[in-house]
Amino acid sequence: MISNGLLDYTLYTRILKLCPSREASKYGLLVHGRIITYGFASSLILNTALIIFYSKLLNMVMAHKLFDVMPKRDVVSWTAIISGHCQKGCYEKTLLMFTEMRRAGVRANQFTYGSTLRACTSLRCLSAGMQVQGCVEKGRFVGNLFVQSALIDFHSKCADISDAQRLFQMMSRRDVITWNAMIGGYAIRGLTKDSLFLFQLMMREGPECALNICIHVVTSKIKWYC
């Protein structure tokens, strides 16, 4: 919609969602300029959309500049900056921002937990991961499939494989991410027979999967450090 020569701010959000690649980034930069020019710079929704835009470009310097000056932040804006750091591989910063979010009194959602657990897994940081799991168990995402898969990946690579097995067996529903997390956990521990058995079980139960990824996970020889 155009009102008084200006695009409605919801259209700016839609345009930014269409500009996640470097090839299309110039259009996102133009939108950012217009947001500033036309007085939308204080919009929570637009600032969050811009943080997501810059995070997908792995430009966390600009994403943080926007985040730091936001007059108000919600769980979506916090998750955007946390996920951005995780995607760039800045795992320590991911955990730091998660801690700051909790201090600010903002409750995490499933995507916040997913990114934070991925950071713990990548750092092989058992203590931090257990603290995040404690937060999950106190909240409403304990049965969330996305979070459960992240917990299985964490336990299978950082903690006791039996804890990952227990979580996996307790799940009433599983997707290909869940299966791959458990299969990958066995592979990392050198439990090749268990990996192959679970892969065969997955194929019998019928979820679609990327066969080349599964074979790579099963056959990869990855040294695990405790």
Mean pLDDT, the chain, whole residue set: 85
Of 215 and 155, the structure prediction assigns the larger pLDDT to 155
Name the residue ranges covered by the structural domains of the chain: 1-72, 73-172, 174-226
Please give the average per-residue pLDDT across 88-92, as a whole number. Answer: 96
Q: Determine which helix (DSSP H) or strand (DSSP E) holds 6, and give its type and residue range.
A: strand 6-7
> What angle, rounded to 10 degrees, do the helices at 145-158 and 110-123 form?
10
Eight-class DSSP state of 57: T
Of 22 and 205, the structure prediction assigns the larger pLDDT to 205
The phi and psi torsions of 86 (rounded to 5 degrees) equal -65, -45
Task: Say what the pLDDT of residue 87 is.
Answer: 94
Q: Determine which helix (DSSP H) or strand (DSSP E) holds 2, and give its type and residue range.
A: strand 2-3
Predicted TM-score of the model (pTM): 0.83
With contact defined as beta carbons under 8 Å apart, do 187 and 153 qualify?
Answer: no
Q: How confident is the model at residue 26 (pLDDT cuts 50, 70, 90)?
A: confident
Q: Is 68 exposed, middle or buried (0-12, 13-18, 19+ CB in 10 A)?
A: exposed
